[in-house]
Amino acid sequence: MSYQKTVLRAWNENILFSALVELTYRCNLDCVFCYNDLDLRGKPLALEDYERFFRDLASLSCLHLALSGGEPLVHPQFFEIATKGRDLGFVLRIKSNGHSLRGRMLRRLKEEIDPLIVEVSLHGASSATHDRQTRVEGSFERLLANLAEMRELGLRFKINSTLTRWNESEIEGMFAIAERFGAPLAVDPDVTPRDNGDFSPLEISATPEGLRRLFSYGRTDDAVRQGDGELPTVDSKKHCGAGSSGIAVDPFGNVYPCVQWRRPVGNLHERSIRDIWSGNAKLEEVRGLSERVKRTLAGGGPGMFCPGTAEGLTGSPIPGLPLHPSQLSPSR
């Protein structure tokens, strides 16, 4: 049995295999195109809620746990939460902007949490561009220093970037930075709307020329992101694992099929993930839609279509033609 077949089985048999948890929407940067709904309110999950949630996930065979945000490291109980994840045997990913990954924080992360990988964000190949997007002066130079420290410490990391019209002319320089640090660079070709439906981030979407530049760079096969802890699976009836093998959870306990597909299917304050996962009509609908997307695209179409982002953009997760470039591969 190969890992690919295990993922396929998870998709087909609805085995919850990976979870992305947004611990907080607080952040120490202020990215222009941040997709988080910063106005969303609710009762934040407490440490004991996370502990119960993680235990349930482990009992459901979930292996991959990504801690995200906002900036997860600014959550006041980040280390307590992540330690629980580690103790329960999850393969941990930390999705961070990298701004505070230095000194004692960095050493604690390596020694206490030992994640499989830390994913950090690069917004350009120059201070002018990176800092323009993060709206924090000095963030570029600080990130480069932090990457050097991470490498020296032996922390496994990769670099993520979103292609925008501000940084599209620096794509070669961004790959050069990644190469300098010996880290893979994954470029998301799409800026997505905010989770509250605000389309203003799309104002800095990459231009068609920028997209061509990225895709002609010759590194796109390994540069375009795949989902958390999963491999692309061509033999499934489903288009993706959203709501079938994976979920996303926001800081207030709302559960979604995935980080892009912001259609709530339950809340952890009201029901356990075990209850939400089984016999859930909303999840069944998402799984059915995923099959429909697969069938719709079977006759040809973009291989990187994301039903979640499509629903955010158009109100429908089903692909229609012609497709807007921003509907292509928006994995975060």
Partner 1 sequence: MLSDAAVFKPRSDVRFRVVGDEAVIVRQEDAEVIALNDVGASVLSLLDARRSVRDVLEALLEQYDIDHESLASDLSTFLGELRDAGIVEEA
List residues binding partner 1 (CB under 8 A).
1-3, 5-6, 9-10, 13, 15, 17, 58, 61-63, 89-91, 114, 116-117, 156
Tokens of 69: 């945000």
Beta strands per DSSP E along 81-156:
91-95, 117-121
Nearer to partner 1, 152 or 270 (CB): 152
Q: Which position has the token pair 């952890």?
A: 268
Tokens of 184: 């893979």
Give the whole-angstrom CA distance, residue 196 versus residue 250: 13
Nearer to partner 1, 9 or 26 (CB): 9
Nearer to partner 1, 17 or 50 (CB): 17
Which H/E stretch holds residue 149? Answer: helix 139-153
Report helix, strand or coil for 217.
coil
Give the whole-angstrom CA distance, residue 237 versus residue 257: 17
Beta strands per DSSP E along 172-281:
185-188, 246-249, 254-256, 266-267
Q: How far is the CB of 26 from partner 1 (least distance, A)?
A: 28
Q: How far is the CB of 4 from partner 1 (least distance, A)?
A: 9
Report helix, strand or coil for 95.
strand
Q: How far is the CB of 96 from partner 1 (least distance, A)?
A: 18
Q: How far is the CB of 42 from partner 1 (least distance, A)?
A: 30
Nearer to partner 1, 269 or 274 (CB): 274
Nearer to partner 1, 26 or 108 (CB): 108
Best CA proximity match to 64, nearest among 221, 224, 248, 188: 248
Q: How far is the CB of 315 from partner 1 (least distance, A)?
A: 35
Q: How far is the CB of 15 from partner 1 (least distance, A)?
A: 6
Tokens of 175: 């790959």
Cα-to-chain-centroid distance, residue 329: 12
Nearer to partner 1, 159 or 310 (CB): 159
Report helix, strand or coil for 44.
coil
Best CA proximity match to 98, nearest among 123, 132, 127: 123
Q: How far is the CB of 158 from partner 1 (least distance, A)?
A: 10
Sheet of strand 91-95, all strands in order from the earlier edge strand to the far edge: 185-188, 157-162, 117-121, 91-95, 64-68, 18-22, 246-249, 254-256, 266-267
Nearer to partner 1, 91 or 323 (CB): 91
DSSP 99: T
Nearer to partner 1, 61 or 200 (CB): 61
Q: How far is the CB of 92 from partner 1 (least distance, A)?
A: 8
Nearer to partner 1, 116 or 202 (CB): 116
> Which residues, in sequence order, are bridge partners of residue 181?
none
Q: How far is the CB of 271 from partner 1 (least distance, A)?
A: 23
